[in-house]
Amino acid sequence: MSQPLLDAVERRLPAAADRAVREYVRRSARYRGRWPEHVREHMAHSCRESARLALRAVREQRSPTGAELELLRERARQRADEGLPVADFVTAYLVNIQMTWEELARAAGGAVPGELGAALLHRMHEIVDAAVQAHQQEHQLVHGEERFAVHEIVQALVAGGSAAELAHRFDVRLADAYGVLAVRLGEHPATGSAADGIGRRIAERRALHRLVAEVHRRLGAQALTALDPDGGLVLLPSAPERSAHDLRAVREALPRLRAATGAPIAAAFAHAPTRSALPGAAQQARDLLRLPGRRDDDVAVLPDLLLEYQLSRDSAARSGLTALARELRRRPELAATLDAYLAHDFNRHRTARALHVHPNTVDNRLSRIAARTGADPRTARGLLLLAAARTAELAE
């Protein structure tokens, strides 16, 4: 390799690093042409040291050692910890390679010798690869800790505990009131087609990442998520009087959330006007999510499901209601007839058409229901009792 040529390039590295920083700042949407002092100081030094290491490795015809790469790995970890996206990080290195190449071309009189140029690019690639790996590892560690911390904050809040210390440590600002969105994810089409467990888990994680990203896009970056591939909770920072506003936002966002994940999403919403009301609101949202009568195309809220919600509460009467439902379940045709009878507003002719039977058959089955349960569906009291029994059973 040409020792004088490499020495000439190394003497020009401070100027090349300065140009690299200026070009990076000019291209960057983050800095928009502004040149913050920390970028000037840290990036210029990293540019000089990475190029100097590459030139040394070319001279000695070897790869950079782990010890030589450690400074650049540490700088990469610092940038990841500061939140610099990996795309921006790679751009900075590519700009530095460009400027170093231009200095090599000037020193060579306009044309870079092919063997020398290939060797330099190879060593620069090794350096960039090591730095990017360090950046990615740190990014995953930091953001993994943040996701875990947010999950723990949500769990503490909905349990009525204190999350102040953890929130302070991870710079999460707690609100005085929250909207609570409970979601349940259906099976993603890709998981059904995945032949192995790893494929299913990958598809589920991708859907979950898209869901979290879309939640923050549609419902605000300050939303706190505690979600897994089956669903979970989203806490929306709110105010005591913003319940209706939050519900509208959630209803508008739901189609977008479904489109982002490509999977069915069931949703329910409750509002906590104070932080101390959050445990009750979270439990209410979870309960609404599992109630029969909930519309799949809408966000379930208590005013729309008052009867179903009340009948799902545990009480001394509930065991008696579920016993009635179990009695019907032993004869599936009777349970189906009752459900159709209820669905068609107690009209025996429409019920018969739905079941593809004669109206007399419907009458016969209604009589058998009365005989087996002691509750006659042709009377107001019996009808209410049987409807309550079916609702209580389905809500379990």
CATH number of the domain within which 33 lies: 1.10.490
Q: Which region among 61-75, 140-154, 288-302, 346-360 has the lowest average model confidence (pLDDT)? A: 140-154
Give the residue, 199 or 9, on which the prediction is more confident.
9
Could you read off the pLDDT of 246-299 as tens digits, one per residue? 999 999 999 999 998 888 899 999 999 999 999 999 999 999 998 876 777 889
Burial (CB count within 10 angstroms: exposed 0-12, middle 13-18, buried 19+), residue 260: buried
Domain end residue (candidates: 124, 142, 160): 142
> In this predicted structure, what is the pLDDT of residue 25?
85
Asked whether residue 333 falls in the same domain as residue 293, the answer is no
The domain spanning residue 360 has which CATH number? Answer: 1.10.10.2840
Higher pLDDT, 182 or 169: 182
Residue 278 sits in the same domain as residue 329: no
CA separation for the pair 143, 138 (Å, rounded): 8
Q: For 219-254, what is each residue's pLDDT tens digit?
A: 998 999 999 888 999 999 999 999 999 999 999 999
Q: Would you say residue 165 lies in a domain?
A: no
Query: Could you tell me if residue 148 is inside a domain?
Result: no
Domain match, 49 and 122 both: yes
23 shares a domain with 125: yes
Q: Does any domain span residue 100?
A: yes
Q: Tell me the C-alpha to C-alpha distance, in Å, between residue 19 and each of 15, 31, 112, 132, 221.
A: 6, 16, 20, 22, 36
Confidence (pLDDT) at 131: 92
Q: Which two tokens stand for residue 308?
A: 């179903």
Q: Give me the number of domains the chain comprises.
A: 3
Q: Which two tokens stand for residue 328?
A: 């019907």
Tokens of 319: 């065991």
Q: What percent of the chain has pLDDT over 90?
A: 47
263 contacts: CB under 8 Å, gap ≥ 6: 185, 186, 187, 188, 189, 207
Q: Do 201 and 237 belong to one domain? A: yes
φ, ψ for residue 231, nearest 5 deg: 135, -150
**Are residue 280 and residue 328 in the same domain, yes or no?**
no
Is residue 374 domain-resident?
yes
Q: Is it the case that residue 9 has pLDDT exceeding 50?
A: yes
Strands (E), the chain: 177-185, 224-228, 231-238, 265-272, 299-300
Quick: pLDDT tens for 17-36.
Answer: 989 988 888 887 777 666 66
pLDDT at position 139 is: 74
Band of pLDDT at residue 2, cut at 50, 70 and 90? confident
* Distance in angstroms (rounded) separating the CA atoms of residues 314 and 309: 10
What per-residue string of b and e applies to 357-368 under the rule 16 or more CB within 10 Å gives b? beeebbeebbee
Instruction: Identify which of 128, 124, 119, 126 has the alpha carbon closest to the alpha carbon of residue 58.
Output: 119
**Co-location of 9 and 133 in the same domain:** yes
Report residue 194's pLDDT band, with 50, 70 and 90 as the boundaries: very low
First to last CA, the chain: 78
pLDDT of residue 48: 92
150 in a domain, yes or no?
A: no
Sheet of 177-185: strand order equals 224-228, 231-238, 177-185, 265-272, 299-300
Q: Which of 95, 116, 142 is the last residue of a domain?
A: 142
Mean pLDDT of 143-151: 79
User: Based on the number of CB atoms within 10 Å of its own CB, is 20 exposed (0-12), middle (13-18) or buried (19 or more)?
Assistant: buried
Whether residue 193 sits in one domain with residue 95:
no
Q: Are residues 67 and 106 in the same domain?
A: yes
- The pLDDT assigned to 306 comes to 80
Output the furthest CA–CA distance in the chain (Å, rounded).
106
- Residue 93 sits at φ, ψ, to 5 deg, of -65, -40
User: What is the amino acid identity at position 219?
Assistant: L
- Report the C-alpha gap between 321 and 326 in whole angstroms: 9
What pLDDT is attached to residue 38?
64
Instruction: Indicate whether 169 pLDDT > 70.
Output: yes
Q: Mean pLDDT, to the nearest integer, of 170-185?
A: 92
- Looking at the structure, tell me whether residues 192 and 288 fall in a common domain: yes
Least confident of 110-119, 235-244, 349-358, 363-372: 110-119
Domain closes at, from 142, 170, 198: 142
Residue 268 belongs to domain spanning: 181-304
| Dihedral, CA of residue 94, residue 97, residue 101 and residue 103, to nearest 10 | 120
* Position 153 in a domain: no
Q: Are residues 244 and 287 in the same domain?
A: yes
Contacts 24+ apart (CB under 8 A), 199-208: 201/229, 204/229, 205/229, 207/261, 207/262, 207/263, 208/261
Question: In the structure encoding, which two tokens stand for residue 79, read together?
Answer: 């940038």
Question: What is the chain's mean pLDDT, rounded?
Answer: 86
Beta bridge partners of 270: 180
Cβ–Cβ < 8 Å for 169, 156: no
Rounded CA gap, 130 and 70, in Å?
9
**Is 322 found in the same domain as 292?**
no
- Would residue 312 count as lying in a domain? no
